[in-house]
Amino acid sequence: MKAHRSWHATKFGRVALFLGGLRLAVPVMILVAIAMIWGTYLYSQPDLGAKVAMRVVYGSAWFIALMALVCVSLIFAVVTRYPWQRRHVGFIVVHASLIVLIIAGFWSLFGRIEGQIRLQEGQHSNVLEMDEQRLELVDMSSGEPVVVAAVDAETSNGTVKLGDVTVEIAGRWSNIQEERYVADDGPEPLRAIEMIPAPGMPQSIWIGQSSKSGGPAVIGGMTIRVLGEGESWEPPESTSDDRGKYFFVLEGERYELGEVGDEAFPGWRIEEIQRFRSATVSASGLSESEEGGDNPAINVVITDGKGTVERHTAFEKFPDMVLPGKRIQGDALSGARLIAGSTIGETLVIHPMVPGDPTVRMTYLASDGRIEQLEHEGLPWSFQVGSHQMTLVSQVSRARMATRYIQAPPAESFRRALLVKLAGDASEPTPLPWKASLPLMQAQRNLALRYGPRIERVPFTIHLNDFRKVDYPGTDMAMAYESDVTVHIDGQPDQELTIFMNNPYVHGPWKVYQSGFLGDDISIFSVMKDPGLTLTYIACTTLCIGILITFYSRALSSGHPGIAMPFAKKEWDNVAAASVDRAVDGLDASGTGSVGQPGVDGHLGSDSDPAQGSGDAPGHVRAPVGGGVDR
């Protein structure tokens, strides 16, 4: 736009002409177009998506500055037309609407609250989980979690400040899994060894102290017995006559098992006997294994004839594993135990640890009665006994089953984690899983770190009464789904309604949509509050009105690009502009001609001419380009 007002010649006028002119607008709009293309590309990538596009482009400081420059250009494009006339109405409405539309867009971008509520039938909630990763410092001193401070966990790295606590984010895991392991910090002495019983096995196994874990373990036909502190072991004598037999033991006396109807021991009679050649243990008890492995076992049911019935179980290959009887009915207890007759088989005994001595001592008993003593200093220890090649990996003296998190390979269903520790702590970082908390040791404060989604409470509570879905015929693909809900708002009567696709529940600025489901009884609701939505609708409406005024109203947009000007009007403006020097001498002191005489820009001093510039200064010649057409 060229200077044609008196104030355009001032310093402010020259700046305004530049800010509102095409020399700034064109390069700015080219940059905006490039930014939009980049943001659209990031948004369309499956491994990036909306969150990356928001962080890198749309929510970045440089993009906000670029859009602010667009607003400045639009504002000064209007300012340079001052003093405004009726022909500027369409121009002003369009530019003002664009400015309001940009403001509304950023208001929605940064002020919108959007998340999900997942409910199973019968559940209710007013807690909205948003799609934002947050690391929060939570104070539990009052019994209720209170968020003290929070940071964006997706973009934060290194050292972060949460209130008066400094936390170091040492790394991130895209997926974790829980692993069970044996810790050496149990409340009581309990010895356990970690062993690989055969070459090529992918994982080791743990075997606990025999006297405290139900007896020795049997692996590959060999009995492995772990002794605890102060325990000893003597090789058994050969008792081949007892092979395949079972005995009830009561008060130190043994009673060989007879047949059904016989006396089991004084006061009790055998009611039922079940024998198994390939026994397997299930939730319902013993049953025959289809694989046919050699594992003889027996179930015996006895009764005292007074209403009490017990079931006893024993395994032939596990004579040391004595199981207590299970009462089926009645109130009495026999106190007896059913055992298998002892036989000599391959046995490996791991002797107790000696404090301060790293030597590991074992005794091997062969099936022929031969005894071999083995020793080795330190672990791991690979050795061979009989036909077995084994490796003793480690051992603990106070075994306790525990769980820990380990990094897992990518999977369709994943759980992310942060590796965190307090700043200055020399220990290794601790994995903090998604939607989990990590207690912090703080004097007289019950604090915890929480990693999870941003939580927002909505002003209503949704109770899911029933969820229904209809599948396409012959498929498992949902054709339609809906939820019957009860909405509770404090101080108002409850509302019974159905939420389905394109039929949301609306409460003030909040909208609740049916967005998905899990299984047959879990409904997923998308909840949104967009403060800039109303302003966006208003700006779009006024923009359309401004465009219609600009292109279809000569009176309100005369001389604007796209609006044809009569040929006679153009010629009159050119003649008037060419004779402006002669007209200056006839002007009054105010620079405004009387009726019938030329005005400041060469036109007759009449309000009937919409192109006349009443604010033009005396002696200033308007450039006769296009009849005074604005940009």
Q: What average pLDDT does the segment 249-265 reach? A: 89
Judged on CB neighbours under 10 Å (0-12, 13-18, 19+), 449 is buried
The whole-angstrom separation of Cα 514 and Cα 76 is 45
Instruction: Please report the pLDDT score of residue 376 as a whole number.
Output: 94
The whole-angstrom separation of Cα 160 and Cα 420 is 10
Instruction: Please report the pLDDT score of residue 427 as a whole number.
Output: 87
The whole-angstrom separation of Cα 295 and Cα 318 is 9
Neighbours of 190 (CB within 10 A): 21
The whole-angstrom separation of Cα 177 and Cα 405 is 6
Letter for the amino acid at 592?
T
The whole-angstrom separation of Cα 102 and Cα 86 is 26
Which is more confidently placed, 593 or 272? 272
Phi, psi for residue 250 in degrees, rounded to 5: -140, 120
Kindly list the domain boundaries of the chain, sorted by start residue.
6-110+536-571, 116-168+450-529, 239-343, 572-631
DSSP type of residue 84 = P
% of the chain residues with pLDDT over 90: 38
The whole-angstrom separation of Cα 144 and Cα 525 is 26
The whole-angstrom separation of Cα 348 and Cα 363 is 6
pLDDT tens per residue, range 515-540: 889 888 899 999 999 888 889 999 99
CB 32 within 8 A of CB 74: no
The whole-angstrom separation of Cα 597 and Cα 284 is 114
pLDDT tens per residue, range 364-416: 988 777 899 999 999 999 999 988 999 999 999 999 999 989 999 888 778 89
Letter for the amino acid at 323?
L
| Residue carrying structure tokens 């002794």 | 227
CB 543 within 8 A of CB 101: yes
Q: Which of 161, 142, 19 has its CA nearest to residue 78?
A: 19
Within 397-521, strands assigned E span: 400-407, 417-422, 430-433, 436-442, 445-471, 478-488, 495-500, 505-507, 510-518
Q: Which of 176, 178, 179, 180 has its CA nearest to residue 415?
A: 176
Instruction: Please report the pLDDT score of residue 237 as a whole number.
Output: 59
The whole-angstrom separation of Cα 113 and Cα 610 is 49
DSSP type of residue 230 = T
392 DSSP β-pair partners: 195, 381
Cβ-proximal residues to 91 (8 Å cutoff; 6+ apart), any chain: 78, 81, 546, 550, 557, 560, 630
Query: Cα–chain-centroid distance for residue 58?
Result: 22
CB 214 within 8 A of CB 321: yes
Letter for the amino acid at 515?
S
Instruction: Please report the pLDDT score of residue 599 as a whole number.
Output: 39
Instruction: Please report the pLDDT score of residue 343 as a whole number.
Output: 57
pLDDT tens per residue, range 290-330: 776 678 899 999 999 999 999 999 888 777 677 888 999 99
| Region of poorest pLDDT, from 64-78, 151-165, 247-261, 586-600 | 586-600
C-alpha torsion sign, points 35, 36, 37, 41: positive
Mean pLDDT over each residue of the chain, to the nearest integer: 82
